[in-house]
Amino acid sequence: MTSDPLWLDAVLAAHVASSGICLLAAPVALAMTKGSPRHRRWGKIYFWSMMVVAATALTAALYRRIPFLALLAVLSFYLAFSGYRVLSLKALARGGSPGAFDWLAALAAFAASAALAATGAAHAGVERGAISIVLGAAGMLASGGDLSRFLRRPADPAFWIRVHLQKFLASYVAILTAFSAVVLGEFLPGLVVWLWPITLGLPVIAAATWYFRRRPPVADRIGQTSG
């Protein structure tokens, strides 16, 4: 068995370090007053760390020829990217237009998610197949929602705060999924180790969305402080 090249060891070390930063930074950002300088600072730390996580994961997956992990890396980063990018797309509710890069990123994420689901449907193993289908479907739902907002103006001018929260929480679920697979894989059954983060995360995301739908004045205040 050949050992990994030194450059790959460095890539994996950067991946582990940036993953640890993400796991810490997201809860800190959520605990801060929304729209405050500290909230934005920790949110940016999380976003840029997530970029390193995705880039290093994609590099390692391509080198080791693991399409499942490569597609998952693309999806994971898109969730963080679109959650960050929506802060600059508030004008969509007033008839504004997304940029070409927004379209390309959403289409690429939808294609990657569809490919992930398709590989799951074609996979001989029930366990890996189910995991790929669930994660791929979640990715198509997230990127498809963005494409829908690009085509049809959002009715709610505060739509962006909910999208921002949903996407960042979803990207954190992706980080937890990877952490669970690596650290807890020896202790939990295969389906459980991959799907418990999304099983717990979806109700949390739904509850957060409901909360902000019930409190539009909070969204307005955040818009004034972070616009």
pLDDT of residue 225: 41
Provide the pLDDT confidence category of residue 156 given band limits of 50, 70 and 90: confident
Write out pLDDT tens, residues 64-110: 888 888 888 899 899 999 999 999 999 999 989 999 999 999 999 99
The answer on pLDDT for 182 being more than 50 is yes
Total tally of structural domains belonging to the chain: 1
Q: pTM above 0.75?
A: yes
Write out pLDDT tens, residues 13-27: 999 999 999 999 999
Give the rounded distance of the alpha carbon of 220 from its chain centre: 25
The answer on pLDDT for 124 being more than 80 is no
Domain that holds residue 120: 6-226
Write out pLDDT tens, residues 28-72: 998 888 788 999 999 999 999 999 999 999 999 999 888 888 888
Q: Note whether residue 41 is domain-resident.
A: yes
Per-residue burial over 21-52, b if 16 or more Cβ lie within 10 Å, else e, is: bbeebbeebbeeebbeeebbebbebbbbbbeb
**In the predicted model, what is the mean pLDDT of the chain?**
87
| Cβ contacts of 197 within 8 Å, gap of 6 or more | 173, 174, 176, 177, 180
| Rounded distance between C-alpha atoms, residue 136 and residue 41, angstroms | 31
The answer on pLDDT for 1 being more than 90 is no
pLDDT of residue 215: 65
Q: Note whether residue 34 is domain-resident.
A: yes
Q: Note whether residue 153 is domain-resident.
A: yes
pLDDT of residue 43: 93
Q: Note whether residue 168 is domain-resident.
A: yes
Q: Note whether residue 206 is domain-resident.
A: yes
Q: Note whether residue 152 is domain-resident.
A: yes
Q: Note whether residue 1 is domain-resident.
A: no
